Structure 1
Amino acid sequence: MSDFSFRGDGAGGPLPGAGENDADGESVFSGITDAPSIYSFNSSRDGLALLRMIQGRTFNAQNDLYYLPADTTEFARQEKEHFAHLVGLGRLYVEHENVQQILSLVDGEHKRILDLGTGVGSWAIGMANEFPHAEVIGLDLAPNTACANTLPPNCRLEFDDFNLGLSHYYNSCDLVHCRIVAAGVKDFKWFINEVAKCLKPGGMLFIIDGDHNLLNSKKEMQDLAYGSGGPGQSWLARAIFEAAITLQKRGSDFDARMKLYELVSASPYFEGVGEHVYLFPVGPWEKGDTPAEHQQRQIIGILERQSMIDAVHSLKPLYIHEGYPAELVEQFLKGTEKELNELSVHMYTKWFYSFATRNSVPIQDQNEAPSVETNA
């Protein structure tokens, strides 16, 4: 169960740059129905319990499995990635008609949307604005506290670790959304079934994640850079590949991100399982067939380039902590910036948008959540 929950005053307006230096003592409160907690977040009082500093970056202090920052720089990167997906899809979600039907306003029905791994909170805020009659909850190990005063009145963000279970949301959600969470999941099979418990029959699950193997301009596996690198080789692809191996060794079920469709299909609690695959250019190198498509691909490319450069910087503490030589880490950083800024290597990121509908099969008792290392 979550110990900390905050919700803004509904002032609205654009999402500001997120950061750990939010004003102390801001009045925040929980959601419009029975929330798991009511709490006023105070950065100086609660920061030591919820956040920690590692190599000059702010990290969550609840769970050592997810070893990526939760600070101003990382939230800015997450927002760029969010906008890349928003431009790529043209909206916040796939399966538009189904989502509209599920979340339509019905007298006497309470609609609830749960965003797991909400991070900067952009997706949750967008959904709260699009569906003002629905309650939207963004859950994360360390969500963006800086947006507390600009959250829509029907939206709240919570500090929580979903690896510990989500019993306070069982059978209460119409839609559950999980984007780029694999690095923080111990057991994806367990996670999918735990999410199924949260959905009402007929509710929808969306799991989105990317392949850590980047593709070249021919949409084939990108060659990794080693040694001094070479023509057509990529330091970004090498950096992401090394991060994937390292996260998996640390206990993340990281490979699951490439078999989401199979994992959801294997669950007895879902029907109508499907998947959409998107390729995003990294950098503004790809041309579109029409002026509108060209503009779209250029915008996505610019956002993905910025996000990927920032991602390698966010991974630096992980590399150092796991014993990578400082010289190699510096090569990851400089090589990535050089090849992306010069557009010397043309690459795609590959994204899997998996979705399913909760069926009416009763959920049997399951084992407790998998053990996850936590920090006192």
Structure 2
Amino acid sequence: MASPSKSVSPKSVSPKGVSPKAGSPPGADPEITTSVQGAIEAEVYSEVESAYSDSDLESFTTSLSSSVLNYQYENGRRYHAFRPGQYFLPNDEKESDRLDLSHHCMVLAMGGKLHAAPLDNPQKIMDIGTGTGIWAIEMADLYPSAHVIGNDLSPIQPRWVPPNISFEVDDVESEWTHAPEPFDLIYCRYMLGSIQDWSRLFCQAYKALKPGGYLELLEPDATLRCDDGSLSPDCALSTWNRLFVEAAATSGRSVVAAANHANLVKEAGFVEIHENIIKLPNSPWAKDKHLREVGGYHMANFLEALEGLSLRLFTHFHGMDVPEIQVLLAQTRKDLRNKAIHTYFNLYSIVARKPL
């Protein structure tokens, strides 16, 4: 039975589930196994079905201390107060609902699995940037003998949780205060735009893992991709993506760093690095039933995320005003709903082990 979590304070193989090697390109690092998903075939729609409707979307979506809690408000959205400015997305209820939808989409993309690391009776697990805590809570239920710790800049997690979980308000970019080598798994998902120095993060994770423990990453590269030429470089969706990537780079927290994660993980000392590159459709355009379902949830998530992704970055780093941004977002949403546009992101699933 669930019980209240500990009070929140500012800080008081291939392995199972990992895709087998698909063949490394010439010159590739022999210690890094990479599997890349092939081309996605698009479903064919008639001209009268040119856009995804609200009913399409509904079918996918219907299935600490006072200083920490003293949130910041900007452009009608709420943001974290602890270490302000280090995370550009809001932390209000609207964003929390979207994060839970994103969790479902990511688990679906991973074939229904919460993790890819080959765990055997883990005793201590950390979830970096836990958000609403939904992944950590489900892991605590899955491994009742493990102590699961979720940390985040915002104390937005629920109070009633499994007894083997605790949440911390913490900045993972600061020096970690956990004792060396307590963790069997350190999990990091969708932290793009949140980390300034990934190398340092991986080195800190290495120190915190037990010998033989696993680091697992699930991170997208926010570069819009299209294999069939259906994305025009002049459309609103392309314009939004360019502005988003540029603003994040200017802020010092890239949203396109995932492609280099495997190399940085190796430099940190990890071995048996397995990288699986998954194509994440941005709408249900794929002919494959599973990918179409993933794309439907991701479109719903993307449409909800657009405002939060854009407001702070575009006002601060592009000097745009809110009405100007909202016009661009309206046009971008129209492109996302267009069944003739077949875009996707590369989603990098990486599992690496600390040597024994």
Is the TM-score greater than 0.5?
Answer: yes
- 1:305 counterpart SS class: helix
- Deviation string 1:256-276 (CA, Å, 9 cap, x unpaired) is 222111111222x21111101
Confirm whether residue 224 of structure 1 aligns to residue 233 of structure 2.
Answer: yes
After superposition, the C-alpha distances for 1:29-81 in whole angstroms (9 at most, x for unaligned) are 269xxx963xxx47x78521xx2111111111123121111111111111111
Q: 2:298 aligns with which of 300, 304, 321?
A: 304
**AA matched with 1:78:** L
- The residue that corresponds to 2:137 in the other structure is 125
Q: Which runs of 5+ in 1 are unaligned?
A: 1-8, 12-26, 104-110, 230-234, 289-293, 361-376
- 1:325 is displaced (CA, Å) by 4.5
The answer to whether structure 1 residue 47 and structure 2 residue 69 are counterparts is yes
1:241 is aligned to 242
Alignment: residue pair count: 301
- The one-letter code sitting in structure 2 at the alignment partner of 1:263 is L
> Match for 1:85 among 81, 103, 106?
106
The aligned amino acid for 1:355 is V
1:320 maps to 2:315: yes
Task: Encode CA deviations 1:68-108: one digit per residue, 9 max, x unaligned.
Answer: 11111111111111111111212334535x22x252xxxxx
Q: 2:197 aligns with which of 170, 187, 201?
A: 187
Q: How does 1:234-313 map to 2 (within 5 A)?
A: 235-267=236-268, 269-288=269-288, 294=289, 296-313=290-307
The within-5 A match list for 1:106-255 is 111-145=123-157, 147-149=158-160, 151-218=161-228, 222-225=231-234, 229=235, 235-255=236-256
8 A Cα contact 1:140 1:161, kept in partner: yes
Q: From the superposition, tell whether residues 224 and 353 of structure 1 become closer, same or farther in structure 2 (CA, over 3 Å).
A: same
Query: Aligned equivalents of 2:103 and 2:282: distance in 1?
Result: 14
State the TM-score, normalized to the length of structure 2. 0.77
* Cα gap change, 1:46 to 1:88, in 2 (>3 Å): closer
1:163 Cα offset (Å): 0.9
> Quick check: 2:186–2:216 contact (8 Å CA) kept in 1?
yes
Q: Following the alignment from structure 1 to structure 2, what is the Cα–Cα distance between the partners of residues 224 and 121?
A: 37
Q: What is the identity, as a one-letter code, of the residue corresponding to 2:2?
A: G
- Report if aligned partners of 1:65, 1:251 keep a CA contact under 8 Å in 2: no
Q: Equivalent of 1:56, from 76, 88, 94?
A: 76
Counterpart residue identity of residue 245, structure 1: E
Please give the secondary structure, in 2, of the residue aligned with 1:205. strand
CA deviation vs aligned residue, 1:140-177 (integer Å, no higher than 9, x gap): 111423x212x111112211101112122431110000
Query: Are the aligned partners of 2:116 and 2:216 in contact in 1 as well (CA < 8 Å)?
Result: no
Q: Structure 2: any 5+ residue segments left out of the alignment?
A: 13-63
Offset at residue 328 of structure 1 (A): 4.3
Distance in 2, Cα, partners of 1:260 & 1:308:
23
Assess if the C-alpha contact under 8 Å between 1:66 and 1:183 holds in 2.
yes
Determine whether 1:337 maps to 2:333.
yes
Q: CA deviation at 1:305?
A: 0.5
Query: What is the TM-score of this pair, normalised by structure 1?
Result: 0.73
- Seen in structure 2, the aligned counterparts of structure 1 residues 204 and 319 have a Cα distance that, compared at 3 Å, is same
| 8 Å CA contact 1:312, 1:332 repeated in 2 | no
* Larger RCO, structure (CA 8 Å, separation 6 or more): 2
Paired residue type of 1:83? H
Partner deviation per Cα, 1:206-239 (whole Å, 9 max, x = no partner): 1121111111253x795433xxx3xxxxx33432
How far residue 254 of structure 1 moved from its aligned partner, in angstroms, is: 4.0
Letter aligned with residue 134 of structure 1: A
Give the AA of the match of 1:305.
M
Q: CA shift at 1:119, angstroms?
A: 0.8
- Corresponding residue number in structure 2 for 1:22: none
Q: CA 1:138–1:236 in structure 2 vs 1: closer, same or farther (change >3 Å)?
A: farther
Displacement of 1:112 in angstroms is: 0.6
Q: Deviations over 1:266-324 (max 9, x none)?
A: 22x21111101111221222111xxxxx1x22321111111111221102232123312
CA RMSD across the alignment: 2.5
Rounded to whole Å, the distance in 2 between the matches of 1:238 and 1:206 is 32
Q: 1:134: how far off? A: 0.5
CA separation of 1:258/1:175 partners in 2, compared to 1, >3 Å: closer, same or farther?
same
